[in-house]
Amino acid sequence: MKFFIDTANLSQIKEAQELGVLDGVTTNPSLMAKEGITGKKNILNHYSKICDIVNGDVSAEVISTDFDGIVREGEELAQLHPQIVVKVPMITEGVKAIKYFSSKTIKTNCTLIFSVGQALIAAKAGATYISPFIGRLDDVSTDGLNLISEIVTVFDNYGFSTQILAASIRHTMHIIDCAKIGADVMTGPLSSIKGLVKHPLTDIGLKKFLDDHKNSNQ
Model confidence at 218, pLDDT cuts 50, 70, 90, reads: confident
Residues contacting 205, CB < 8 A, separation 6+: none
Active site (catalytic) residues: 87
**Closest of 41, 30, 33, 23 to residue 83, by C-alpha:** 23
What percentage of the chain has pLDDT greater than the value 90? 97
Q: Tell me the chain's radius of gyration from C-alpha atoms.
A: 19
Average pLDDT of span 39-46: 95
Domains of the chain: 2-216 (3.20.20.70)
DSSP 141: T
Q: Within 81-162, where are the H helices?
A: 92-103, 116-125, 134-139, 144-158
> Tell me: the pLDDT tens digits for 47-95?
999 999 999 999 999 999 999 999 999 999 999 999 999 999 999 999 9
Residue 95 is which amino acid?
Answer: V
Do 62 and 80 form a contact (C-beta atoms < 8 A)? no
For residues 91-116, one letter each, b for 16 or more C-beta atoms within 10 angstroms of the residue's C-beta and e for the rest, the string is bebbbbbbebbeeeebbbbbbbbbeb
Average pLDDT of span 108-115: 98
Strand, helix or coil at 7?
coil
Dmax over Cα atoms in the chain, in whole Å?
A: 74
